[in-house]
Amino acid sequence: MSATNPDARETRKRGWQREDPVDPQAVLAALDDDACRSILEATSEESLTATELSERCDIPMSTAYRKVEMLTEAELVEEQVRINTSGKHATEYRKNFDDVLVSVAGGGLEIEMTKPDAESESGFGSSAAVADD
């Protein structure tokens, strides 16, 4: 992991650190996709299942599953399990960043993702910078 942003270094000191580097190409591909952007917008305020995303975003179920997989691999959404009162469960998805900053640095792309304050263990926003060398 290559962190060039002083805030990212400070965040690591507070305990939030990426285990695996984000693939800048995966992030850019997901953000360039209309259906993915629609899913990100739909999941910015609440967690939704693939069925709910299919209905809200007006996309086929197969597309919803493919796109949430793409977003999950790019670490732009997180998966959680929703347990219904009937005992059944479903996977739901929620956008897990506030901002994504893309820069060109050192011959590669650098991605910085700012995590929502509420999800940070310390109560501070979190970020990570990853260089694609």
* pLDDT tens digits for range 72-107: 999 999 999 988 888 888 999 999 999 998 888 888
Helix (H) or strand (E) holding 93, with range, is: strand 89-95
Confidence category of residue 19, pLDDT binned at 50, 70, 90: low
pLDDT in tens, 22-69: 789 999 999 999 999 999 999 999 999 999 999 999 999 999 999 999
Query: 6-13+20-132 in CATH: which number?
Result: 1.10.10.10
Residue 114 has pLDDT above 70, yes or no: yes
